[in-house]
Structure 1
Amino acid sequence: MRSRFLVFILSFALVWSAAAQKPGRPQVDPSTVMQLGTNFSYYNRDHVRLSEDFTAYNEHNKKISKLQFLEALTSAKYLPLHLTSAPGSWAYKLYPFKGHYDKEVADITAQFAGYELDHYKCEGRKFPAFKFTDLNGNVYTNANTKGKILVLKSWFIRCQACNLEMPELNTVVDKYRNRKDILFVSIAFDSKASLIKFNKRKGFKYAIASVPETYIEQKLNTNMYPTHWIINRDGKIVKRTNEPDVMIEAVGRLAGI
């Protein structure tokens, strides 16, 4: 009797495991998404979150790594097809561009996949050497931020997207104001005098430091603004993203909230 029971349990586990590996259903009709740039824009806004940790499948429904998935997307041959998944999780399948489709959709997909691939490759790496001096004279370095969570933003004054997210970021700073182990620092390539004048009007609550544009674009290897880095207590990059909501979620996980 016991052996039969064990066989039943093992059989059930194998069936359950196989079902868990099977991709879910498409959330949208991919042919509609691929036909028009406007359709893709709405789809990208509502369904594409490639900065998240997600389950990835190739076009043959075989599970692949996130790295393999993003690399394939940069070829402009695939749409990231959003699949049904468990609440709080994400799943995508490589869906080939075929038939009648808007080539611009394929090109934009490849471009954004390239950005996300660059972000993903940063994860787990040590953050480059730095020494930032904010507008109040406070100095931040690799050494004196070790043991703390560093939330870093790169931006510049005339960047509209950078300005639009500041009220939301101020709310995040307020949320963690009693957490001395979490630092919010921003770096911009505008002059110190310009940043002081700007912040008297704007009231951005991150510490603000003026740095050379070459530091951001060559040392940190990005020319996308804004860009957010979440750096853990060991000085390693946990997440790099252009999306504030992705950054906020990552900080919450790291902070244990």
Structure 2
Amino acid sequence: MKYLYPVALSLLLATTVHAQAPDSPRPASARPVVQLTQESTVIDAGGGPLPYPVWRQMLAVGEYKIQPAPGSSAAQPVFQVVARTPEEKAAYLAKLPPPKESPFFTNGQSIAAFKMRDMNGRKYDSKDLAGKIVVLNFWFIGCPPCRAEIPDLNKLVQQNAKRDDVVFLAVALDEHNAIEKFTKDHPYEYALVPGGRYIAERYGIRSYPTNLVVDREGKVVFHAQSHPNISAFLQKAIDDVK
């Protein structure tokens, strides 16, 4: 089975960047326009080459920006990925449109009952979770957008650490051993549910990551897929539940 994941950076491939030789300044209106594509030459801050999957993932959560590299020209365009300042990141995220709703859920629907067991053997039964807010993430290790959002999802857990009415569950397609190996280098603070393929299939999920928030009555109040500012929208959904 082939799994799909949305690419939050698809707009980048249609982005145009003004390239200008440093020794021949021109008015902004006269600058040649260079299109950024998967085949573009992209380097890191130290000048090393970056393949498309790598720089695409670096840009996925707004930590980095892309700009013409020093010495780039319209004839030989080169782009460079550089870190955003905290202020630049905040401004960038604030301008983004909200994430699109996933095609697998609708707001207000009652989520089908579930029973899960996490990596530590703890059981989660939707009946026992009545009265709590449940935040679900469906993901798998081989999905770049899934991995890219983990640091922000960890911050989301930390922001709600003092609340005992919010439960975070990450349902992975991968099995226990693979997740255990992966999280040694990539900590994930959600309760991790291995072997969750059957759960994802029950809900008809076919692209990843898929995130949703379920209210105290078991109804979906938010559902979306990959987005550079997904944690902010998840937090808002949590806060809006009475």
Q: Fold-level match, TM-score > 0.5?
A: yes
Question: What residue ranges of structure 1 are gaps of 5+ in the alignment?
Answer: 1-36, 43-86, 91-111
Question: Whole-Å Cα distance in 2 between the matches of residues 130 and 180 of structure 1?
Answer: 20
Question: Whole-Å Cα distance in 2 between the matches of residues 159 and 38 of structure 1?
Answer: 23
Provide the secondary structure at the position in 2 that maps to 1:230.
strand
Q: Which residue of 2 aligns with 1:82?
A: none
RMSD after superposition = 3.2
Question: Whole-Å Cα distance in 2 between the matches of residues 39 and 199 of structure 1?
Answer: 34
Q: Which residue of 1 aligns with 2:192?
A: 208
Which of 205, 216, 237 aligns to 1:233? It is 216
Q: TM-score if structure 1 supplies the norm length?
A: 0.53
- The code of the aligned residue for 1:144 comes to D
- CA, structure 1 residues 174+214, in 2 after alignment: closer, same or farther (shift >3 Å)? same
Q: TM-score if structure 2 supplies the norm length?
A: 0.56
| Structure with higher helix content | 1
Bigger Rg, which one: 1
Provide the secondary structure at the position in 1 that maps to 2:127.
coil
Higher relative contact order (CA 8 A, sep 6+): 2
Query: After the TM superposition, which residues 103-142 of structure 1 pair with which residues of structure 2 at under 5 Å, given as runs?
Result: 116=101, 118=103, 122-142=106-126
Q: Which residue of 1 aligns with 2:204?
A: 221
Q: Does 1:189 align with 2:173?
A: yes
1:46-89: CA deviation from partner (whole Å, max 9, x where unpaired): xxxxxxxxxxxxxxxxxxxxxxxxxxxxxxxxxxxxxxxxx99x
Kept in 1, the 8 Å contact 2:134–2:168? The answer is yes
Question: What residue ranges of structure 2 are gaps of 5+ in the alignment?
Answer: 1-12, 17-34, 37-93
1:134 Cα offset (Å):
0.5
Moved beyond 4 Å, runs of 4+: 39-42
Kept in 1, the 8 Å contact 2:213–2:221? The answer is yes
1:166-215: CA deviation from partner (whole Å, max 9, x where unpaired): 11111111110000101111001111111112112211101000134243
1:256 Cα offset (Å):
4.9
Kept in 1, the 8 Å contact 2:146–2:226? The answer is no
1:243 Cα offset (Å):
3.3
- The code of the aligned residue for 1:145 comes to L
Identity of aligned residues (%): 27
Kept in 1, the 8 Å contact 2:135–2:168? The answer is yes
